[in-house]
Amino acid sequence: MDFDGSNERYSKTLDKFIDLLSPHQDLNEHGCTAFDEVRKSSIMLELLVTLSLLLSQIQTVLAKEALYTPPVTPITLVLPYKTQIQGIIRYYANVYGVDEKLAQDLAEFESNTDPTAHNPDSSAKGIYQFLNGTWHSENCVGEVLSPNDNIACAMRVLSGFNGIRHWTADTHTRAFLIENGYVYCYTSKNDSCYIYK
């Protein structure tokens, strides 16, 4: 792990932690240290503070080195299921800077905002109807039928250059997006469509 120049601070914290855990020489007849209760409490508090600092430093490093992980999505479980899904769409649209109305309308058109939707004529599934090949080629994380994973990947793809091409490849979806003023297509090719900003 790379501690970004804080190796010395990490090393000192670790040494202090090890020193606090090391047995002391002044043991009584029961094999316990002969420190009074105040000293024991003080050492225990110092041990906990040192451990907390050490864990914080490790957590910071791991967060920096971690691969892409979708953000945690706040959901209120008392809401109706479709409202929860729409809340996840709102959240990720905001995270990735995608027009929320486009995101909500596209989900409604593609799957009626149903995370279990399957297209019987292709491998398309989930809220945004990802094909198996697209899911893998876009390096989507998690499960295509997971609302959180499906939406997070869709918003990431939509936010990218010409990301809408995955949806404009379908003539019905393309017509819907054009009719509702979300995209402009200058030829009939699916990669010639751009989202109006």
Segment 22-65, tens digit of pLDDT: 555 455 555 555 555 555 556 666 666 666 666 666 666 666 55
pLDDT of residue 3: 46
Domain enclosing residue 141, as ranges: 81-195
Tell me, yes or no, whether 53 and 92 share the same domain. no
Q: For residue 72, is it within any domain?
A: no
Q: Which is nearest to 164 in space by CA: 187, 194, 136, 140? A: 194
Average pLDDT, the chain: 77
Reported as a single tens digit per residue, the pLDDT across 115-143 is 999 999 999 999 999 999 999 999 999 99
Tell me, yes or no, whether 90 and 25 share the same domain. no
Q: Name the pLDDT band for 193 (thresholds 50, 70, 90).
A: confident
pLDDT of residue 1: 47
DSSP summary character for residue 155: H
Tell me, yes or no, whether 89 and 61 share the same domain. no
3-state SS assignment for residue 91: helix
Q: For residue 74, is it within any domain?
A: no
Tell me, yes or no, whether 154 and 179 share the same domain. yes
Q: For residue 76, is it within any domain?
A: no
Burial class (CB in 10 A: 0-12, 13-18, 19+), 147: buried
Q: For residue 172, is it within any domain?
A: yes
3-state SS assignment for residue 179: helix
3-state SS assignment for residue 184: strand
pLDDT of residue 81: 85
The total of structural domains in the chain comes to 2
Tell me, yes or no, whether 95 and 157 share the same domain. yes
Tell me, yes or no, whether 43 and 130 share the same domain. no
Asked if 61 and 1 count as a contact pair (C-beta separation under 8 A), the reply is: yes
For residue 124, what are the contacts with CB-CB under 8 A and spacing of at least 6?
Answer: 118, 130, 131
Q: For residue 184, is it within any domain?
A: yes
The residue out of 40, 65, 90 marking a domain boundary is 65
Tell me, yes or no, whether 152 and 187 share the same domain. yes
Say which residue the tokens 């390096």 belong to.
Answer: 139
Q: Which is nearest to 111 in space by CA: 67, 176, 26? A: 176
